[in-house]
Structure 1
Amino acid sequence: MPLHPEIARVIADLPAPPEGPLDPAAMRAGEEAQAVPLDRRLPLSAVEDMTAATPAGEVPVRIYTPVEPPGAPAGYGVLVYFHGGAYFLGSLETHDHIARHLARATGYKVVSAGYRRAPENAYPAGLQDCYGVVRWVAGDGAHHLGWDGTTLALAGDSSGGGMVAAVTALAHDDGFDRVTRQVLFYPSLDLDFDLGRYPSLRENAQGYGLETAALKPFNAFYTGSSADPADPLVSPIKRAGLSGLPPALIVTAEYDPMRDEGERYGERLEQAGVAVQVTRYPGANHGFVQHFSWLPEYRRVFEETAAFLTGRSAS
């Protein structure tokens, strides 16, 4: 189907990017200015900012409690969320609304990780933060969170989806078997931007919000901080063995340059014996969960995620 008309309208109204080198500080400020005002955000039982003490240091986290617990000692399932932003953008604020909707849809307590970003923090600082938060949930943070001790899922969008794939690999290799499921929204899984690698890099190169030509300079803040695109923890699709990883939901967008790497990763997981569900959202572009999930066609991504995580049928 064609690009959703509302998405097309917004893209047409986008200002031309400024000339010259990318300015991370200015781009972050622009993103923060677009965050949904607090009085318009989805209300939950509680939203709390705190820090998680990890081997990598103290990591800011935002904890979303959807409803009062179903009753002790049942506790909550926990979903750890990693925001996107090409490893140098995004924050707890810019993705706050996603975390709120995931908490409401799943009934899980959501822990959003404010990991360190490039280029100020060289690889693997951000990855260490994300993994550290996951271990904190199952360790020192479990009592505070009211974790049920059973359900510990991970989710992320774009580069955050890449973080999910890398963290699940780290956990598997460390023998940390508490991660139960993983959700990747239009993930960034291959930082080698050879145009011949995936057809979607050519098919969706221009006119859909995120352009193929922008991928390399965006991710240069990460790769320039010692993140090697050949490293499977940087480009998880390059990991040789994928067996033993937790079940995965991979959500892709029809008009996304990175669509095919997400779908290819799903194929590789399936070939490795991992239970995987891949859903391509028609008419959508990269970033639609962050920017366009208020549209009825795309709001169901939260219902689909909840159904995958909890086993309940999507309405």
Structure 2
Amino acid sequence: MLHPQAQAFIDLLVQRGVPPTHTLTYADARKFYRERRAITQPDPGEVAEVRELVAEGPHGAIPMRLYRPLGSDAGQVLPVLVYYHGGGWTIGDLDTHDTLCRELSNLSGCAVVAVDYRMGPEHRFPAAVDDVLAATRWVRKEAAALGVDPSRLAVGGDSAGGNLAAVVALDARDAGDLPIAFQLLIYPATDMRRLHPSHTTNGQGYVLTSDTITYFHDHYITDAAHDLDWRASPLLHKNLAGLPPALVLTAGYDPLRDEGLDYARALTEAGNRATYVCFERQIHGFITMGRLLDEANAAVGLCAGELRRALMPRA
């Protein structure tokens, strides 16, 4: 059964006549997504430090934002989560996920570096992949200046960002130059073919619809052959062994639920440590909706706890 708070949110969108994302221009979709924060997200929490950063990537500057948690000292070397926002590789930015990054930092005790990667339709696949790889390697290279520990570096993201985090972990393993300690995959997109059953059973009525997924896909992917590229569909990588421990979190009423479950299963079958948690009564995108959904706050706490457990030294 859909959580009553999630149903109330869906009803509110209908009552207010909020247009489905796939009916909007990408510019308007970005605007709506940014403005929705006031309705759905908690107020941004105080942190010890917020610093705007810029990494140089192969295609130009990549804006980023560093968060250090409350209670941390200026000279303290912290574990770090490099975080990639969701939004279908088309919408979202540093501000849409500012509250979530603050929460993850404060609750885990880790630094968080959020990455503002290039998106479609202006910058198509694999532009986002190129940017997040460059940004993550930059964080490792500049670890001393950032006050973070490169040996305790995690990657994470939600939805499209979860897809990118999984891709970074795979690329880092294959290249051998970027040790990743943990991957936080929040309702990740893992298979661009969109054939899993939940795409049908959850394809209408739960905010993220099959129409909107196609809209995002087509803003990002230019060639159907790219659907089979593991940099777009990490579930299709021929070798999923030797990857960092993972938390894969999904929602029961999410079209992406089954491909997230399959990715967690594939990680485990390949010999990795992978924990799978499904919030059965929730919808896609719920983790940033803590103003409206109690389970969003529980999910953030779970993610932060797993980060702390994976990255913090044990007494």
TM-score (norm 2): 0.90
Q: Quote how far apart the aligned CAs of 1:303 are.
A: 2.1
Within 5 A, what are the aligned runs for 1:30-69? 30-36=32-38, 40-69=43-72
Q: Quote how far apart the aligned CAs of 1:52 are.
A: 1.5
Q: How many residues align?
A: 306
Greater mean alpha carbon deviation, residues 54-63 or residues 90-99:
54-63
1:10 corresponding residue in structure 2: 9
CA contact (8 A) 1:123 1:225 kept: no
Q: Quote how far apart the aligned CAs of 1:6 are.
A: 1.6
CA contact (8 A) 2:90 2:220 kept: yes
Greater mean alpha carbon deviation, residues 34-43 or residues 172-181:
34-43
2:172 corresponding residue in structure 1: 171
**Pair 1:217–1:227, CA change in 2 (3 A):** farther
Q: What's the Cα RMSD here?
A: 2.3
Report the Cα distance in structure 1 between the residues aligned to 2:89 and 2:133, rounded to whole angstroms: 15
Which structure shows the higher helix fraction? 2
Q: Secondary structure at the match of 1:245?
A: coil
Q: Secondary structure at the match of 2:132?
A: helix
Structure 1: tracts of 5 or more residues without a match: none
Report the Cα distance in structure 2 between the residues aligned to 1:303 and 1:19, rounded to whole angstroms: 29
CA contact (8 A) 1:155 1:184 kept: yes
Greater relative contact order (Cα < 8 A, sep 6+): 2
Report the Cα distance in structure 1 between the residues aligned to 2:24 and 2:11, rounded to whole angstroms: 21
Report the Cα distance in structure 2 between the residues aligned to 1:189 and 1:212, rounded to whole angstroms: 15
**Pair 1:18–1:98, CA change in 2 (3 A):** closer
1:221 corresponding residue in structure 2: 219
Q: Secondary structure at the match of 1:257?
A: coil
Report the Cα distance in structure 2 between the residues aligned to 1:91 and 1:310, rounded to whole angstroms: 25
Greater mean alpha carbon deviation, residues 281-290 or residues 14-23:
14-23
**Pair 1:105–1:293, CA change in 2 (3 A):** farther
Amino acid at match of 2:62: V
Q: Secondary structure at the match of 1:59?
A: strand
TM-score (norm 1): 0.90
Within 5 A, what are the aligned runs for 1:185-264? 185-194=186-195, 198-224=196-222, 228-264=226-262
Q: Secondary structure at the match of 1:77?
A: strand
Report the Cα distance in structure 2 between the residues aligned to 1:53 and 1:249, rounded to whole angstroms: 30
Report the Cα distance in structure 2 between the residues aligned to 1:297 and 1:19, rounded to whole angstroms: 24
CA contact (8 A) 2:140 2:178 kept: no
**Pair 1:227–1:79, CA change in 2 (3 A):** farther
Q: Secondary structure at the match of 1:42?
A: coil
Report the Cα distance in structure 1 between the residues aligned to 2:177 and 2:67, rounded to whole angstroms: 24
Report the Cα distance in structure 2 between the residues aligned to 1:149 and 1:298, rounded to whole angstroms: 29
Amino acid at match of 2:88: A
